[in-house]
Structure 1
Amino acid sequence: MGESRKGLFQQFSAQDWHGFRKGLEKEGLRVDQDGFIAQTPHPEALGSTLTHDRITTDYSESLLELITPVCDSTGSLLASLAETHRFVQANLGDEVLWSGSMPCRLDGDASIPIAVYGSSNSGQLRHVYRRGLDVRYGRMMQSIAGVHYNFSLPERFWTRWQSLLGDERSLQDFKSDQYFWLIRNFRRRSWLLMLLFGASPALDASFVEGVSHRLKRFSDDTWIGECATSLRMGDLGYHNNAQASLDICFNELRTYTDTLYRAIHTPWPPYEKIGQRNAEGEFIQINTNVLQIENEYYSAVRPKRTTQRGEKPIQALRSRGVEYVEVRCLDLDPFEPVGIGATQIDFLDLFLLDCLLSDSEVIGDEECSRLDGSYKDVVGKGRKADLQICFDGSLTPVRDAALSLLDRLQGLAERLDAFNGGEKNYQNALAAQRSAVTEPGNTRSDRVLAAMETAGQGHLAWTLDQSRAHQGQLREDGLDDATRTAYEKMAADSIAAQKELEASDRVSFEEYLKAYLKD
C-alpha cells in the first residue's frame, strides 16, 4: 500500500507548511431586557442583511449571523469576529445578544419573526425559503443558534500533498477527493466534538410548551436533558422527518451532489398538500420537493464552494469542486464573549487535519448506521458515566474512546507546534480536551449545568446574565475611530447596494423563481 499518509506528512518542512485557512459564521438572537426574543426589525445601523458581507440574519429577523472573512490564523480570526461583535453591541440599544444556542423565552411560532431582505427578487427568494421552513417544520427549531467553522488548506499545501501522493488527476479533482476523504473521517469521529463542545443541555420551558418530551425538570422554567450534551443537535433541535429517506452519500463529490440533487427534485406529498402558494396567492415555499434548496439539508458537516451570483451550491460544487469544509455541529460556548475561543479553534484545526491524514475507507450502509447511532448517543447521553459507543469495531466506554482519539493527535500537535516556532498552541489545545474527558464535570455541558446550579438560576436567568456580562465587556473594549468608521461605511454601502439591486430587477418574482428552479 506504500507509505502511510501520516508518514508522508512527515516530509513536510516548516518551509512547506503554510498553516490553515479558516472562517466563522456565528449566530445569536437579539433579546429584550427580560430575555424575550426581540420583536424589532434588524437595526438599520447594522446595514442591509441582504448585501452586507459580515452582518446578516439567519432564519429570523431577530437571529443575527456574524461572518468573518477567511483568515490564516486563529488570532486574526477571533480579532475579526470580536470587532464585528463590538460594532453590533454598540448598535443594539437596550437589546442583548443571546449567548446560548437554545433560545431565550418564546411565545410560540408567532413570536419568531421571519427574516426579511427587501423587495429585490433575490431578497424575496430568501424570505420565501424561510416561509417554506415555517410551513414545513414550524419556527421554533429555527430559533436555535450555533457557530459554523469553515476550514480549508492553502493551495500550496495541496500541490505539495498531491506530489507526495503521486496523484496525477487535475488539482481540482484531487482536492475534492481529499476533502471528502476528510469528511468521511469527520463522520466517524464527530461524536467527539459533541462530547467536548456540546453546550446546550438545558432549555427554557417555553421552547417545549405543549410538546411531548423526555426532559427532566431543573426548575420551574427550565428543562434539561439529564445526560445530554447538546439539545440543539438532538431530536428537539434540528431534525427533518422527510430527510430520513434521502440517504445523502458523503463518500465522494459525485454521489453527494447526485443524491442532493435528487432530493431537491423529488416531490414530497405532505409538502405538495401545503402547496407552493397560500390562499392569497403569496409564495410560501420555493417548491414542494423534499428539499427546497441545498441549505435545507441538515448535517453536521458540508463540502462547500463559494457561489457566484445566481449560482446554486450544487452547480458551484460540480463545476469547480470543493473549496472548503463547513463544520456545522458546534454549539455556542456561553462562557466565551464571541461564542467560541482560541483553544477550541486550534483543536478543530488539529482534529480536521488528522481526519485528512488518517486512513479513510468508503463508508458503507452498515457503518453509516453505526456512525449515526454513536453520534446520536453522545448528543443525547454523552454525560452518562457508563455510556458505550461502537469504536474501532467494538463497544467501548465513550471516555476511553475519546482518550484513544486524543492520544492519536499528540504527534501531530507536536509537529504543528514545531512548524510554528515551537509554540505549544496545539499541544495546549489537546491537553485542554484531555482534561475535559478525564476530569469529572469539565466538558462544556457539565460546566453549563454546574454554573446554573451554583448560581441557583434556570436557563433563562443564567444565560441572560452571561449575555449581559459579554455585552458589557465588548462595549467596554469598544472600537477605535478608524475601525468604527470602516464598519459604518460597510453598513451604508450595503444599504446602497440593496437599493441598487432592487432598482435593477427587470422581471417579476414569479418569473425570477421559475428561472431559478430551472437546472
Structure 2
Amino acid sequence: MFPDISKIISLLKENPEIINNIKRGIERETLRITTKGSISKNIHPKELGQPLTHKWITTDFAESLLEFITPANNNIKYNLAFLKDLHRYTALNLKNERMWPLSIPCFIKNNDSIKIAQYGSSNLGRFKTIYREGLKNRYGALMQLISGIHYNFSLPVEFWKIKQFSNNIIYKKEEISENYLHLIRNYYRFGWIISYLFGASPMIWKSFIKNKNIKKYFYKEKDFFYYFPYATSLRISDFGYTNNFQKKLNIKFNNLDNYISSVKKALCNLSPNFKKLGIKKNDKYIQLNANILQIENELYTQIRPKQTIKHNELQLQALLKRGIEYIEVRTLDINPFSSIGINETQASFIELFLVWCALADEPKIENKELNYYNQNWNRIILEGKKPKQIININNKQKPLITVCKQLINNLIDIAKIFDISYNTDIYQSTCFKIIEMIKDPRLTYSSLILNEILEKGINKFGLELSEKYFKQLTKEPYEVITKKQFEIAKIKSIKKQLKIEKNENKTFEEYLNIYSSRLNS
C-alpha cells in the first residue's frame, strides 16, 4: 500500500542537519468579537497599524477578521512563540474586544454587521477591498468569515538532492518544482488525515445551509446550529469555505506549466454566473471582473504551490520565473484548545507528514484518481469518525484505521531523524499521541469540540474560551518580539501606506488594465 522509503531514510539519517534547514511560517485568522460574543462593528484598531502594509498583523475578508503572519523560520518553537507574541500584543490593544477561538464564526444575526476590509485610498488598497466585495457578492459574506490556519513549508535544496540521489552542484528550479508537485499530489491522496485528526468544525450555523433538502440530513440544536455526529471539518466541505465552480477546473498538479495554464484560464475566462452580477452597480465596483477567478487568491484548494512575489508581479508570474519555493497547507481548522489556534503537536505532525509526502512515490493524477481523492476527502470531512469507516486506496476499499496506522508507522522513522536534528523528542512524542487518537476517535479534536458545543452551545463555548485566552495573553510577557519592535512595525506600516497613497499617479481603471495586461504576459 505504501512505497518503500527506507533507502532515502537511511541517507537522511546520515545527514540529519538537512532537516535543520526546513523553513516554516504560520498564518492564523481570527474574528474580533465584543465581550458579549457578537461580531465587532469597529474598524481595525489603529493601535495595530495599517493592515495594508503591516508585515505581521493584517485583516482578511472583513474589518473584524484579523490575520497574523509569522516570518519563515527553521524552528517550530520560535514560530509558535512569535505567533503567540502577535496574539499578546493584539490582546493588549483590543480594549473591550476579544478574539474568537473557533473556525466557524460567532452567531451573526444581520449580515449588515459584516464590514468589508478597508485598505485606504491607493489603487492597491481599493483593489483589495473590491476583490473582497466580489467575494461577498459571489459567495456571501458569512462564508468569508470562516477562519483557518495556513501552514507554509519549504524544504532545502539539499533535501531534494538526497531524495533524487543527486550530487548536482546546481539543482534547477524545474527539478525543485517537480518535487514540490510530487509532494502536493501525495497531499491530495492522503492529506485528509489532517482533517480526520485535527478537524475542528463538525457543526455549522443554520444560516450557512441554503438548500432546504440538505438540512434534513443534519442533526440540529435549538440555538440554530446543525451538526453531523461523525463530521470532522465542515469548514472545508461544500457547506463551508468552498467554491463548486472551481471543482470543474480539475487542477491535477502534474506539472507546473499545466497548473499555471489551468489557473490562468480561470483568471481570464468569463463565468456566466458572475457575468450576471455585473462589474458595477450604481457606478460602484461590486467585483473586480466577471471571470471564474477575480485573482489567484480566490482559488480554494487544500494546498497551493507558492513563490515569493517581487516587483508587483502576479503569483503565476513568480512561479513561472522562479519555480515553486514553498507550499501552503490550507486545510487546518482553528484549534480552540490553543490560545493561538494551533499547537506544537499539530505543527510537528504536519511537518512529518509533508516530508513523507515528499519522499513517497506518487504517479501523475488523472481524472479517475482525482475523483477518488475528492471522494476520500468528502468522506472524511463529513463522516470520518463513523465506526468501521473505509477509504479508497489504489482503487481498493481499505479500513480507515488500518491506513492511518500504516501511515503513522512510516512517520515514526522520519520523526526519529527530526528529533536527532533538533535535539528534542517532540516528533516521536507526537506520533505516539496520534496513534492514541487513531485508536480512539473520541480523542480527535472534532469529537472533543462537539461534546463541548452540545453541552454549552457554540457562542457560550467560544465566549468562555475567548475570555480565558484574553486573560492569559494579557498577563504573559513577550517571548521573541519586543514592545519596541511592535511599535516600529506599526509606525513603518503607517508611513508605508501614506507613501503609497502619496505617490499614486494612475486612475483605478488604469491600474486594473495593468493588472489584466500582466495576466496575458
- TM-score range normalised by the length of the shorter chain: over 0.9
Instruction: Judge which range, 297-306 or 267-276, deviates more.
Output: 267-276
Question: Could you say which residue in structure 1 is the equivalent of 2:200?
Answer: 199
- 1:473 matched to which residue of 2? 472
Aligned partners of 1:103 and 1:207 also within 8 Å: no
**Aligned twin of 2:431:** 430
**1:362-373 alignment runs, 5 A limit:** 362-373=364-375
The answer as to 2:350 corresponding to 1:345 is no
Aligned to 2:234: 231
CA distance, structure 1, for counterparts of residue 210 and residue 286 of structure 2: 26
- Per-residue CA deviation, residues 38-70 of structure 1 (Å, 9 max, x unaligned), is 111000000001000000011111110000010
Aligned to 2:257: 254
Counterpart position of 2:317: 315
In structure 2, relative to structure 1, the CA distance for the partners of 1:321 and 1:460 (3 Å cut) is same
After TM superposition, give the deviation of residue 170 of structure 1 in Å: 4.8
CA contact (8 A) 1:233 1:329 kept: yes
Amino acid of the residue matched to residue 98 of structure 1? W
Displacement of 1:207 in angstroms is 4.6
Deviations 1:441-471 (A, max 9, x none): 1000011112334xx3001100111111111
Residues 53-452 of structure 1 correspond to what in structure 2 (within 5 A)?
A: 53-161=55-163, 164-165=165-166, 170-205=171-206, 207-208=208-209, 213=215, 214-278=217-281, 280-421=282-423, 423-452=424-453
Checking the alignment, whether the CA contact within 8 Å between 1:194 and 1:330 is kept in structure 2 is yes
Q: Which letter maps to 1:265?
A: C
Instruction: Give the equivalent residue in structure 1 for 2:504.
Output: 505
* TM-fit CA distance, 1:193: 0.7
* Distance in 1, Cα, partners of 2:221 & 2:170: 57
Cα distance in 1 between the residues matched to 2:55 and 2:121: 19
Against the structure 1 CA distance between its residues 56 and 172, is the aligned structure 2 distance closer, same or farther, given a 3 Å change threshold? same
- Provide the C-alpha distance between the structure 1 equivalents of 2:44 and 2:471, rounded to a whole number of angstroms: 21
SS of corresponding position for 2:188: helix
The Cα shift of 1:16 comes to 4.4
- Aligned residue pair count: 512
Looking at structure 2, the residues matched to 54 and 15 of structure 1 have their Cα atoms a distance apart, in angstroms, of 29
- Give TM-score scaled by structure 2 length: 0.94
2-side partners of 1:187 and 1:216: how far apart? 29
For 1:374-433, what per-residue CA distance to the aligned partner results, in whole angstroms no more than 9, with x for missing partners? 001100111211321112432122222211211221222223223334x32211111111
The SS at the match of 1:435 is: helix
Partners of 1:146 and 1:127 in 2: CA distance:
20
Gap regions ≥5 residues in structure 1: none
Q: What amino acid is aligned across from residue 505 of structure 1 in structure 2?
A: E
Q: Secondary structure at the match of 1:10?
A: helix
Find the aligned partners of 1:98 and 1:312 in 2 and give their Cα distance.
32
Which range moved further: 264-273 or 153-162?
153-162
Whole-angstrom CA distance in 2 between matches of 1:208 and 1:93: 34
For residue 261 of structure 2, give the secondary structure of its aligned residue in structure 1: helix
Q: Cα deviations across residues 166-190 of structure 1 (Å, max 9, x unaligned)?
A: 6798521111111001111111001
Shift of 1:108: 4.0
Please report the TM-score for the alignment, with normalisation by the length of structure 1. Answer: 0.94
Residue 140 of structure 1, CA deviation? 1.0
Identify if the C-alpha distance between structure 1 residues 6 and 171 changes in structure 2 by more than 3 Å, giving closer, same or farther: farther
1:195 touches 1:378 (CA, 8 Å); kept in 2?
yes
Q: Partner letter of residue 132 of structure 1?
A: G
Give the Å deviation of 1:251. Answer: 1.3
Counterpart-to-counterpart distance in 2, 1:210 and 1:327: 29
SS of alignment partner, residue 409 of structure 1? helix
Cα root mean square deviation, aligned: 2.0
The SS at the match of 1:441 is helix
Does structure 2 retain, via aligned residues, the 8 Å contact 1:304–1:317? Answer: yes
Residues 120-169 of structure 1 show CA distances to partners (whole Å, capped at 9, x for unaligned) of: 0111110111111111111110010000000011344345555x246798
